[in-house]
Amino acid sequence: MPIGPGEHDVRRLQLTGGATFTLSLPKPWVIANNLSARDSIRVDWRTSGELMLSPLDDAAERRTEVTIQIDRLPEGALYDHLMGAYISGVQEILVLSESPLGRKTRGVIRRFLRSTRGFEIGDQDDVSARLISLLNAGELSLNASLNRMYLLLSSLVRDILEVLRGGDGEMISDHEEREREVDGLQYLIERQVGSMLSSSQIVKSLGLSRKQGVEHANLARSLERMMDHANQMAKLTLETESNPKLSLEEMPLSVLPIWLDSIKTLMINLRERDAHQIEAARNSLKAAQLELEKHEEGLWSGKRKAAPLLFEDRISESTRRLCAYARDFGEILLNMLAYDSIRRY
């Protein structure tokens, strides 16, 4: 019985001419890919030992499209469906409606374009909008995106420290913009990794295995979560009237330089992969977490006013979360180090 997508079959190798092994291909697969006798097929030998077969006309060059029918979606779900299509790696998204696209729908589309990288409106009329990707998933290094995320994150934390020291709050007035850029880079990495799973050519272009790609997506997620808490700290700093005076040499602010040093070390070891440095950074972060927990437990035992206590407690909690997600970042690096050291026979 012929097999179809998602099914499997067992076929026997045949020896041809005394020196060449041949294997017959499923006829439905040949027909589905518009192949015929004497056509060429790319054979990719994966590090796991598996072979991947694909038509020679690169799958990455074949444009994929998804159609989103607005009238069939739940109220307010358009943005999530657009983002799902983006992360899945499609090159074109067609948004259709039975009635003219309203102001709210067009606003959601503009928000999607601001949140992503490489998508633009190709053509648009009263009832439809075609969004087209102009960016090849294999063009931008995942490490470059991670480094940009790190720079945005660490610079915001340094600026928050400066403002709490008495600097001008204008330094962190763009905190929402910085967070949106980090979010956009994380979405881009998710999209690239999703494309790696279906295209061996993108795997080759990015110079990473699929396993490494997935771990890079996990690293991006950790950085994005840290940015969420840095953004909360910036917002709290700007919106609290008459910020309580916190000493940079005492808890919780004394932990932020420790976090900055540790996350810098971990980012360096995205390239260096020194297990001793990674563990040292994670241990520093763990000790800082424990100190912050003790600090938060003791905050409410005195007779200080509630408003400054609440401010300090929330700053402490976000700092502790920064340490926790940085430790997760280090753990992912150790996983990558272990995977790279596996010997295959």
Q: With beta carbons less than 8 A apart as the criterion, state whether 131 and 233 touch.
A: no
Sheet of strand 65-69: strand arrangement:
65-69, 92-96, 128-133, 119-124
pLDDT at 61: 52
Is pLDDT above 80 for 283?
yes
Q: With beta carbons less than 8 A apart as the criterion, state whether 205 and 309 touch.
A: no
- What H or E segment, with its residue span, contains residue 105? helix 103-115
pLDDT tier at 2, thresholds 50, 70, 90: low
Q: How far is CA 84 from CA 134, 144, 193, in A?
A: 18, 23, 13
Residue 150 is encoded by which pair of tokens? 């790190």
- Average pLDDT, whole number, for the chain? 91
Which one, of 230, 262, 256, lies nearest residue 330 by Cα? 262
pLDDT at 343: 59
**Residue range 65-133, CATH number:** 3.30.1370
Partners of 92 in beta bridges: 65, 132
pLDDT at 223: 98
Is pLDDT above 60 for 263?
yes
Domain ranges of the chain: 14-58, 65-133, 142-340
The residue count of the chain comes to 345
Partners of 41 in beta bridges: 55
pLDDT tier at 261, thresholds 50, 70, 90: very high
Percent of the chain past pLDDT 90, that is, above it, reads 70
Q: Which of 81-85, 235-239, 299-303, 320-324 has the lowest mean pLDDT?
A: 299-303
Question: CA dihedral in degrees (201, 202, 207, 208; nearest 10)?
Answer: -110
- What's the average model confidence in pLDDT over 25-42? 88
pLDDT at 246: 87
Is pLDDT above 70 for 344?
no
Q: Tell me how far apart the alpha carbons of residues 220 and 216 are, in angstroms, rounded to a whole number.
A: 6
The top-scoring range by mean pLDDT among 36-45, 51-60, 285-294 is: 285-294
Which one, of 293, 303, 310, lies nearest residue 246 by Cα? 310
- What's the average model confidence in pLDDT over 173-192? 97
* Burial bucket for residue 59 (CB in 10 Å: 0-12, 13-18, 19+): middle
Is pLDDT above 50 for 60?
no
Tell me 56's DSSP state. Answer: S
pLDDT tier at 305, thresholds 50, 70, 90: confident
- What's the average model confidence in pLDDT over 21-31? 90
**Residue range 14-58, CATH number:** 2.10.260
Instruction: Classify domain 142-340 at the CATH topology level.
Output: Methane Monooxygenase Hydroxylase; Chain G, domain 1 (1.20.58)
Topology match between the domains 65-133 and 142-340: no
Which one, of 114, 264, 93, 109, lies nearest residue 187 by Cα? 114
pLDDT tier at 269, thresholds 50, 70, 90: very high
Is pLDDT above 70 for 59?
no
Helix (H, G, I), strand (E, B) or coil at 125: coil
Is pLDDT above 90 for 46?
no
- What's the average model confidence in pLDDT over 135-146? 93
Is pLDDT above 90 for 17?
no
Q: pTM of the predicted model, to two decimals?
A: 0.87
- What H or E segment, with its residue span, contains residue 128? strand 128-133
* Radius of gyration from C-alpha coordinates of the chain: 26
Q: With beta carbons less than 8 A apart as the criterion, state whether 183 and 234 touch.
A: no
Cis? peptide before 257, omega within 30° of 0: no
